[in-house]
Structure 1
Amino acid sequence: MKNNLYYPQVSLSDKEIFAEIKKEREVIGYYSLPYVDTTVLKTRLDDLNFPQKQIAIIGIGGSTLGTYAIYNFLKYNKQHNKSLKKELFFFESTDPVNLNGTLAQLNLKDTLFIIISKSGTTIETISIFKYLMSITKIDKSNLLVITEDDSKLNTFAKTNDINTFDIPKNVGGRFSVLSNVGLVPLYLAGFDIDELLKGAKKSSDSFFDKKKLFKHLLKKARTYYEFKDVYNMNAIFSYSQLLEGFNKWYVQLWGESLGKVDVNNTNQGLTPIGLLGPVDQHSFLQLIVEGQRDKTVTFIKIKDFKDNTKIAPISLEGLEELDYVNNLNFKELINLQADATIASVKELKKDIPIDIIEIEEISEFEIGKLLFYYELLTSIVGKFLRINTYDQPGVEGGKIILKGMLKNK
């Protein structure tokens, strides 16, 4: 007699999940990144003394998304505008029009190229690198390589006497922003990488020392897990264009980490959605409010934009009824828009799970806190789902097929 039983898995306790995360901390490298001393790295980069005013980062996915998230968040801040040494550009896509459009913004003779690939054989990255090498001189004077120490890209770099920076083997690409992947270009651009790590450490300590984030993250992760069959889409509604890059980073982190086959050979996954307010109030909000109840929403606000730009006190003929916005700061307007949207979902539609994250200000410390918060949350949800959060076998199949197609072309 054959008897297959498919009983629902009993949910683990918070104590058990925390114990597993602490054990995982011993082998998964991203947990230790906030505690790294950057003194040697900064000294080495200062000694290299690259004079170029622009940086072209060549990479894709985890090699670029985190750095772009931080750069996009900070680059327009008035404090950073004064201190930035270099402007960053990102070469990620094999779209030829986008490739050449980005190139048109560069002065190639005044550009430092940084190629980033953990494996060293990422086809998009190497293809773009080959093209760039064909149109301009790239050598040790204007190139850095960031990769694993035993990759083929590292072999290329050593053969050509090019400076390299290591990506630790136990740090996955989508969790690598606080490693050399992000620290090298951000430091060269003039950002305070110590404050970035300090912010990440704040989130880490708060969780592992069982302070504020301990119960918060476990409760949030458990909610996602226990209601995954109903609310299987998780939307982030970020009220600032500065968080566009963060949204993209979150989509990769959440999707690639949690879309897996679990220990019971069952397909698991939570679908990430990145939204920007107030723009997406005029598109996706309707679906949230009156569509199917299959989405949770996390609203992210910036408490102080430190920008007092005001709406001009001008009365427009025929539009006098909108004069109540005159002299209002734009930072007040966008946060009121966020508050109104939150109230409409929270108070009028009580069957939509929401939470609110408020960022104090636009700084390295605050974005560091936010990035590590979401890395921790991803790891905890992965434990509840009983999956391997750190591999991506679903991506590898397409790479193998593409390689075969290109070889047989």
Structure 2
Amino acid sequence: SKIVDVSRVVDSSKIKQLIVIGIGGSSLGTKALLGAIPSSSVKVTFLENIEKEMPELLSENYSEVLVNVVSKSGDTFETLTNLDKLLAKYPQLKDRIIITTAHPEKFEGYAKEYFLPIPPQVSGRYSVFTPVGLFPLSLTGFNILSLLEGAMSARKDCLQEGSANPALVLAVVQYFHYIKKRTIDVNFFFHPTLELLGKWNNQIVAESLGKNGKGLTPLVSIGTTDLHSMIQLFLDGPKDKFTEFVYCKKLLPKEDLPVIDGVKKSYENRKLPFISWEFDDLTEKSLGYYMQVKMISVVFLAKLMGVNAFDQPAVEEYKKYAKENS
């Protein structure tokens, strides 16, 4: 309801350009979903790393432009720097900014109706189903209700016991291979539109599990391109990998399907561990299901490894030193 209220305040029906300022968990989930199902009506630009030049506006009519600043802490250095640089170039955008944060008190000079909350108990990397992802997605025509329907369906399945629980099965299988020293988690996506799902997964896996000398190293590959570069290593290199093949047959030319089957047959012949995620169709609902299962499976896996899935102490350490040196 808060998202709907804010959308009315900014008259979202007129928006033709959306600039999202955020980094890490504040942007990766949204980017992944829009990479898989792009918007045809709104141009979306993400400002993540500190940009030397600010993007050009499509229109001098500022009512057609909206800026969404996303920072759970309210003091993310890259995000605040990009916001300052954007307003230095386009001061008229000051009244076209919606701020998504858990700490609105850190943003002075903005009316309360221009804020969206991030639940304080939700870690940033798990926040795609909060206003962090839902608000910018809603402005692009993305069906967020179907996305949440898929996520809720996954949540229901992930409360089941034993083999009926897809997240638990994935976590147990990965943990089995982890203790066998297979610590590289290869996510092999057979379509370039799915690549950003891999970038999102990188953060979920790396930040949630990489603690106290433990963890998995996530790696993203894209088929069929990487069959001509990485597959030699995957098939005949060190046996330290667990692979997840992810694809949707409806996205692929028919000529790719026997190639995928051939790759999996090679893995079987060499007794290399893998699983397959096959989407019946690439929709908001199926993506919501996939992302929810992945997040819950990482939480289960963290429990098996004996680490906290929700903190990031090493990240906070470097941020502390960066602030001291800035």
Range of TM-score over shorter length: over 0.9
Over 3 Å counting, the alpha-carbon distance change for 1:401 and 1:146 in structure 2 is same
Q: 1:45 aligned to 2:7? A: yes
- Quote the Cα distance in structure 1 between the aligned partners of 2:109 and 2:124: 20
Q: 3-state SS of the aligned residue for 2:255?
A: helix
3-state secondary structure, aligned to 1:387:
coil
Question: Are 2:197 and 1:234 equivalent residues in the alignment?
Answer: no
Amino acid at match of 1:357: W
Cα deviation 1:195-224 (Å, max 9, x = unaligned): 00000111110111448641x432321232
Aligned to 2:324: 404
Deviation at 1:126, TM superposition (A): 0.4
- Asked if 1:122 corresponds to 2:76, the answer is yes
Question: 1:64-90 CA distances to partner (integer Å, 9 max, x unpaired)?
Answer: 000000001001xxxx64xx4x22111
Question: SS of the counterpart of 1:304?
Answer: helix
Deviation at 1:181, TM superposition (A): 0.3
Deviation, 1:280, is 1.1
Q: What is the identity percentage for the equivalent residue pairs of Structure 1 and Structure 2?
A: 29
Q: How does the TM-score come out when normalised to structure 2? A: 0.92
**Deviations 1:104-138, CA, capped at 9 Å, x for gaps:** 47546442111000001000000011000000024
Q: Which residue of 2 aligns with 1:32?
A: none
> Does the 8 Å contact 2:19/2:66 carry over to 1?
yes
The SS at the match of 2:232 is: helix
When normalised by structure 1's length, the TM-score is 0.74
Give 1:362 deviation, angstroms. Answer: 1.9
Tell me which of 192, 195, 204 is aligned to 1:244. 195
Gap runs ≥5 in structure 1: 1-38, 262-266, 306-329
Q: After superposition, where does 1:8-407 map in structure 2 within 5 Å?
A: 39-50=1-12, 51-75=14-38, 81=40, 84=41, 86-96=42-52, 99-100=53-54, 103-104=55-56, 106-107=58-59, 109=62, 110-139=64-93, 141-153=95-107, 155-158=108-111, 163-210=114-161, 213-214=164-165, 216-229=166-179, 230-261=181-212, 267-305=213-251, 331-346=253-268, 348-350=269-271, 352-406=272-326
Does the 8 A contact of 2:191 with 2:222 survive in 1?
yes
Rate the CA distance shift 1:179–1:213 in 2: closer, same or farther, 3 A.
farther
Q: Is the 8 A contact 1:299 1:354 kept in 2?
A: yes
Partner deviation per Cα, 1:142-197 (whole Å, 9 max, x = no partner): 111100145513x4434xx6601000000110000000000001101111100000
CA distance in 2 between partners of 1:213 and 1:57 (Å): 38
Count of aligned positions: 322
**CA-CA distance at 1:236 after TM superposition:** 0.5
Q: CA RMSD in A?
A: 2.0
Q: Would the alpha carbon gap of residues 56 and 149 (structure 1) be closer, same or farther in structure 2, given more than 3 Å must change?
A: same
Give the Cα–Cα distance (whole angstroms) in 2 for the partners of residues 221 and 353 of structure 1. 14
**Separation in structure 2 between the aligned mates of residue 341 and residue 380 of structure 1, nearest angstrom:** 29
Q: Deviations over 1:305-335 (max 9, x none)?
A: 3xxxxxxxxxxxxxxxxxxxxxxxx521233
Q: CA deviation at 1:226?
A: 3.1
Q: Secondary structure at the match of 1:169?
A: coil
CA contact (8 A) 2:69 2:98 kept: yes
Judge conservation of contact 1:303–1:358 (CA < 8 Å) in 2: yes
Tell me, in whole angstroms, the C-alpha distance in 2 between the residues paired with 1:213 and 1:245: 28
Q: Contact 1:301/1:335 (CA < 8 Å) preserved in 2? A: no
- Contact 2:279/2:286, CA 8 A, preserved across alignment: yes
Moved more, 42-51 or 227-236: 42-51
Task: Verify the 8 A CA contact 1:55 1:89 in the aligned structure 2.
Answer: yes
Secondary structure of residue in 2 paired with 1:390: coil
For residue 228 of structure 1, give the secondary structure of its aligned residue in structure 2. Answer: helix
| Contact 1:268–1:385 (8 Å) recurs in 2 | yes
Question: CA separation of 1:138/1:61 partners in 2, compared to 1, >3 Å: closer, same or farther?
Answer: farther
Q: Which whole-Å CA distance do the structure 2 matches of 1:382 and 1:151 have between them?
A: 33
Q: Distance in 2 between matches of 1:365 and 1:55?
A: 23
Greater radius of gyration (CA): 1
Q: Structure 1 54/349 Cα, relative in aligned 2: closer, same or farther at 3 Å?
A: same
User: 1:228 & 1:74 partners in 2: Cα distance?
Assistant: 33
Secondary structure of 1:208's aligned partner: coil
**Structure 2: 5+ residue runs without aligned partners?**
none
- Provide the secondary structure at the position in 2 that maps to 1:300: strand
